[in-house]
Structure 1
Amino acid sequence: YEGEYKAGKKEGRGVYRWANGNLYEGEFKAGKKEGRGVFRWADGRVYEGEWKAYNVYNGEWKADKQEGRGVMRYANGNVYDGEWKAGQREGRGVWRCTNGDVYEGEYKAGLAEGRGVLRLANGDVYESEYKAGKFEGRGIYRY
């Protein structure tokens, strides 16, 4: 990140570059993208416009909660694409972090649980069992 700070958080104009090649140039408020800005994905897509610090869900609903297939784009830039139940990540899904890390696997009650593969931005890959969002049991770590 290169830009202005206030009280230790990104505030004002700045440029944020991710290791995966994504770039955001624009306004920040309280450490989050907010105001006018341009987001350039590494694959060439571009969004230019207003940013607000809130989550956006696009998918199926049941009884006013996320249920079925859906994509949640979080205010911090992370994205979950997968199955939902009663408003929580449940079933199979993919979690993409703004730092380039990607987890693909099973979820239960909103956390990684069951078989999953974590691909780190640095190229390392960890295949393991997960329980309550943490590694558990046998796993394989490839550097």
Structure 2
Amino acid sequence: MGPPKMAIIAPPTREFRAAAAATTTALLGPTLAAALRCQRLLGVASLFLCAQVCWLAWQAALTSWSVAVHACAAAVRAAVLAKAVWRSKPVMALRRKVVFEFVALLLGSGNALFLVLFWPGWWVLGLIALATRLSVG
């Protein structure tokens, strides 16, 4: 007689793993498919948004360049115009009159004004006022 036969009670490992894998795949398959679909949609949306921002930045650069070129041209024209106006006969006559009036003010009645402003006695009065303030407090 041989050794007694005993039944080994153990779950079938291959079948259990296959069943578990099938259950996991059945549960996670639709979830992963939805996640991948959302990822593709977000990727397309972000790519579209980046393309739009790039296009807007390019348009802004072109617009600012165009504005800068036109502003430079306008400044050159304004400088030429200002030079022409400055050298025109009516403006030169007005400048001569203004210079004459200024010189007449200095040599004529403006002498009293300069005497009041630049009178050396102001230095003496200022020093006296400063000394008084420092001594009195």
Bigger radius of gyration, 1 or 2? 2
The structure in which a higher percent of residues are helix is 2
Shorter-chain TM-score range: under 0.3
The alignment's TM-score, normalised by the length of structure 2, stands at: 0.14
Higher RCO (CA < 8 A, seq sep 6+)? 1
